[in-house]
Amino acid sequence: MPEARTAPSVAPASAPVPTSVPLAGPAFASAAPRPVIQRASVRGQVLDALRSALVAGDLAPGEVYSAPALGERFGVSATPVREAMQQLATEGAVEVVPNRGFRVIRRGARELAELAEIRGLVEMPVMLRLTRTVAAPCWAELRPLAEATMAAASTGDHARYAESDRVFHAAVLALSGNRQLVQLADDLHRRAQWPLAGAPARRTRADLLADAAQHTALLDALAAEDVATAESLVRKHFATG
């Protein structure tokens, strides 16, 4: 008998994109307006801001940043900045430099390729299995998230696009009902979004739009049970971060 199609056991919640604190330019120019951080969740907001700065390239690979200096930039004490940086150190984004601060890790193309390979091993079998177990209407429910990535890409805002990209992928994997998988995949995805050291240029708006267009194409392939196309799209998508 053919395998039954069912609705997802876990609803594909479209998690809101965290509101990040903007950082102005690689040098954090003092003339830029000071971001306003609400005291209720200072550490979390600082962590979101630092993650966005990493993706945007405002925290440059190889550079050392001190918690007091960033705290002054955010208008907070050094403590929540230091705590957020310690979290980034745990994630492998920065390393502690005694008595100086935190150095942004320099990554090369090989590490990006390794992350793409791991993401393929973790996510691809699940996505392809979902083509047999998830009904087409469920894939249609994810289209607003794919459209959100297109909207983010159209602005050329790397941090905004990176977040919407991760939200989309998490929603797809959530259809599996495996929360541990979603968390693991999100961590790998975040690491893949950090910029490479010595990259000649950041991805252009056209690059982001092409990347975002793959989301809609992927949904079409998954809904049509086109396993070959879905696999090709996923591999290409992972290779570009």
Proportion of the chain above pLDDT 90, given as a percent: 53
Tens of pLDDT, residues 17-52 = 444 444 434 444 444 455 555 554 888 999 999 998
pLDDT at 189 over 80: yes
Averaged pLDDT for residues 132-141: 92
Task: Indicate the pLDDT class of residue 66, thresholds 50, 70 and 90.
Answer: very high
- CB atoms near residue 177 (< 10 Å): 11
Please tell me the predicted confidence (pLDDT) of residue 201: 52
Task: Indicate the pLDDT class of residue 223, thresholds 50, 70 and 90.
Answer: very high
Check the CA dihedral 118-14-140-179 and report its sign.
Answer: positive
Please tell me the predicted confidence (pLDDT) of residue 186: 94
pLDDT at 4 over 50: no
Strands of the sheet containing 94-97, edge to edge, are 64-65, 101-104, 94-97
pTM, two decimals, is: 0.76
Q: Is 95 within 8 Å of 103 (Cβ atoms)?
A: yes
Tokens read off for 20: 């990040």
Tokens read off for 45: 């907001």
Please tell me the predicted confidence (pLDDT) of residue 202: 65
pLDDT at 3 over 70: no
Please tell me the predicted confidence (pLDDT) of residue 100: 93
The mean predicted confidence, pLDDT, of the chain is: 83
- Determine the Cα–Cα distance for residues 67 and 102; give it in Å rounded to an integer: 8
pLDDT at 63 over 90: yes
Averaged pLDDT for residues 158-181: 95
Q: List CB contacts of 192: < 8 A, sequence separation 6 or more.
A: 112, 115, 116, 119, 238, 241
pLDDT at 14 over 50: no
- Determine the Cα–Cα distance for residues 106 and 91; give it in Å rounded to an integer: 14
Please tell me the predicted confidence (pLDDT) of residue 30: 41
Nearest to residue 165, comparing CAs of 140, 184, 190? 190
Nearest to residue 67, comparing CAs of 54, 80, 56? 80
- Determine the Cα–Cα distance for residues 11 and 138; give it in Å rounded to an integer: 10
SS3 assignment, position 9 = coil
Is residue 35 classed exposed, middle or buried when 0-12, 13-18 and 19+ CB atoms within 10 A define those classes? middle
Please tell me the predicted confidence (pLDDT) of residue 238: 82
> Containing H/E element for 64?
strand 64-65
Q: List CB contacts of 159: < 8 A, sequence separation 6 or more.
A: 20, 51, 52, 53, 55, 56
Averaged pLDDT for residues 128-135: 91
Tens of pLDDT, residues 75-116 = 889 999 999 999 999 988 999 999 999 999 988 888 888 998
Q: List CB contacts of 93: < 8 A, sequence separation 6 or more.
A: 51, 54, 104, 105, 191, 194
- Determine the Cα–Cα distance for residues 173 and 240; give it in Å rounded to an integer: 19
Averaged pLDDT for residues 225-237: 89
